[in-house]
Amino acid sequence: MFLSGRQVYIIKKERNTSKKHKDSLAKFQATPIKKEKSDFYILSHDTMNLTLVILAAGMGSRYGRLKQLDGFWPNEEILMEYSIYDAIKAGFNKVIFVIRQDFAEEFKDRIGNKLNGKIKVEYAYQEKNALPEGFKLPETREKPRGTGHAILAATTYINEPFAVINADDFYGEQSYKTLANFLKNPENVGKCSIVGYQLSEVLSKHGTVSRGVCSLDDHGKLIKVTEIKKIYPSGDKILFEAADGGTEELNNDDLCSMNMMGFTPEIIPFFQKYFVEFLEENINHPTTEFLMPVALSQRMTQEGGEVLVLPTTAQRFGVTYPEDKEETKKNIKKLISKGEYPGNLWK
């Protein structure tokens, strides 16, 4: 049955509840039907509300300027506007922008105000000095601590299944539909997902990139994510610069994470716990980041959580380097000419 947009389950409460059963109950929001000695729980999963978290606090060091607010074809739309447009079509009804205070007003003027009446909007701020109690920001630290840190900045506004994306990537409409279907399925409560793109399709012609390469079992479940830096195409091969200074080859068909992921709120306590563990080892390192794929791998190691990799054939492009901008504009123009997007997204 349904209640207020939630899939509702009624499960009998055992008097001697096993650890396994307790764990399964913890995946849901459980409420006794009666206040006194109830024999049943109502377990519910929100099937109506989906949130999109956009990571837009990055510095854009390789791009040379604040690429989150750079305009594209044809009306100087920001790239993430296409992400929001696709997400709304897929059923998302709230967006959380994770940004920095130093460009907050410009950001709101540039994009936030366009979305009035289209989708609920919240703003969260990722600052480099936002650390748990007991930790002090070292003077050598210049940037916030990566994508996992950004999610923690947004937790105040997260109460429902949520997707996470980069601000500077175009992911394609089909990827949002795939992720929305995963998040709406009550059987996936407590599970995580990564939308997997073929490695050969997510490189830049203009320089090296970093990618989280996924290792899968025979059922499409994640074994681990390996963060590989300095990847580049070379003829029909994909190479990366190894730590010893040499080069190694990657498989063109490998699936990789582009930081498009799906979670339910049950993941947040683990992110909080593991961030403390991360800081205990890395607080004084000037550049080490708390990354989502690495955190998911750690969760599987510590708690055995399940992560599904959802393959997609959707077209993906982005702007790592300034030279990527013209190609991105051409790609958007082609999609508009094919009728996949209107010339003006919000009219």
Three-state secondary structure readout of 279-325: HHHHCCCCCCCCCHHHHHHHHHHHHCCCEEEEECCCCCEECCCCCHH
Structure token pair of residue 126: 């990722």
Helix and strand tally (H, E) in the chain?
Answer: 8, 19
Q: What is the CA radius of gyration of the chain?
A: 21
Same domain for 296 and 186, yes or no, is yes
- Domains of the chain: total: 2
Q: Which residue, 46, 63, 78, sits at the end of a domain?
A: 46
Q: Are 237 and 195 in contact (CB under 8 A)?
A: no
- Same domain (yes/no): 35, 76: no
Retrieve residue 122's tokens: 């919240």
What CATH number is associated with residue 59?
Answer: 3.90.550.10
Specify the pLDDT at position 257: 93
Are 97 and 19 within one domain? no
pLDDT of residue 71: 84
Q: Are residues 132 and 280 in the same domain?
A: yes
The answer to whether residue 79 sits within a structural domain is yes
- Calculate the alpha carbon distances from 76 to 70, 147, 191, 248 in Å: 8, 26, 37, 39
Cis, peptide link before residue 74, omega less than 30° from 0? yes
CB neighbours of 100 closer than 8 A, spacing ≥ 6?
Answer: 57, 125, 126, 127, 144
- For 266, phi and psi rounded to 5 degrees? -60, -15
pLDDT of the residue at 47:
61
pLDDT at 58: 74
Q: Which two tokens stand for residue 41?
A: 């729980």
CA distance 81 to 78: 5
- Mark whether 217 and 305 lie in a shared domain: yes
The pLDDT of residue 118 is 96
pLDDT at 263: 95
What are the 10-residue block averages of pLDDT along the chain, 347 residues in total? 40 37 36 36 61 84 58 83 97 96 90 93 94 92 91 95 95 97 91 95 93 91 91 96 93 94 93 94 92 87 89 91 89 94 91
**Number of Cβ within a 10 Å radius of residue 176:** 28
Structure tokens at 156: 């105040």
pLDDT value of residue 254: 94
Task: Flag whether 212 is in a domain.
Answer: yes
What is the three-class DSSP state of 215?
Answer: strand
> Does residue 347 sit within a domain?
no
For residue 234, give its domain range. 51-337
Interatomic CA distance for residues 121 and 133, integer angstroms: 29
